[in-house]
Amino acid sequence: MAKITGYSYIPQVYQNPNINQFVQVYLPMIPVRLSYAWGQLSPFFDAVIDSGSDRNLFPMMLARYIGIEFGKIKSNKVYGIGQGYIQVYPAKINIWLGNNKYETDADFSDNQSIPILGRNGFFNLFKSIKFDEKGQFVYYRRVMISLEGSSWFIVKI
């Protein structure tokens, strides 16, 4: 059995430096929580679902909040758009979507301000993820085992 869940894109306001005005952009974001081992569960926050990101990438403050200490963990360099890179620290964490917990990998950086859900660490947890740009909606489909037959759900928030 599979369950399909969906979320409306969320408007974000940015300042466009080319025209020196604020613009509203709708992004595929979903509310998630993080936890580490048996530590503290973060409050809900919105994270961008980014098919162009190789891995999950979160601000370092979230790692500190859930109790991760990177003292002896070696950092990595992550290269993105442009020629620069940022230092990241990898960790095994739990991502919570509602009451569903998924164990996965993520990187944390002091140079990252927007939480990003990437292909390895988020997309690979689901059977499929679909972006509906015209309808500004994102769906994810997970496989569920049930003795009561098959159901399909779409939830719009």
* Residue at 90 is within a domain: yes
Q: Does pLDDT of 157 surpass 60?
A: no
pLDDT digits (tens, 9 = 90+) for 43-100: 999 999 999 999 999 999 999 999 998 888 889 999 877 778 899 999 999 999 988 8
Long-range contacts of 66-75 (CB under 8 A, 24+ apart): 66/34, 66/35, 66/36, 66/39, 66/40, 66/41, 66/42, 66/93, 67/36, 67/37, 67/39, 67/40, 68/36, 68/39, 68/93, 68/108, 70/108
pLDDT-derived band at 142 (thresholds 50, 70, 90) equals: confident
* Residue at 96 is within a domain: yes
Domain encompassing residue 75: 31-125
pLDDT digits (tens, 9 = 90+) for 143-156: 654 444 444 444 33
pLDDT digits (tens, 9 = 90+) for 131-140: 999 999 999 8
* Residue at 57 is within a domain: yes
* Residue at 10 is within a domain: no
Average pLDDT over residues 119-146: 85
* Residue at 26 is within a domain: no
pLDDT of residue 145: 42
CB 138 within 8 A of CB 125: no
* Residue at 16 is within a domain: no
* Residue at 152 is within a domain: no
* Residue at 103 is within a domain: yes
Q: How many domains does the chain divide into?
A: 1
pLDDT digits (tens, 9 = 90+) for 2-42: 677 888 999 999 888 888 899 999 999 999 999 998 888 99
CATH code at 86? Answer: 2.40.70.10
pLDDT of residue 1: 56
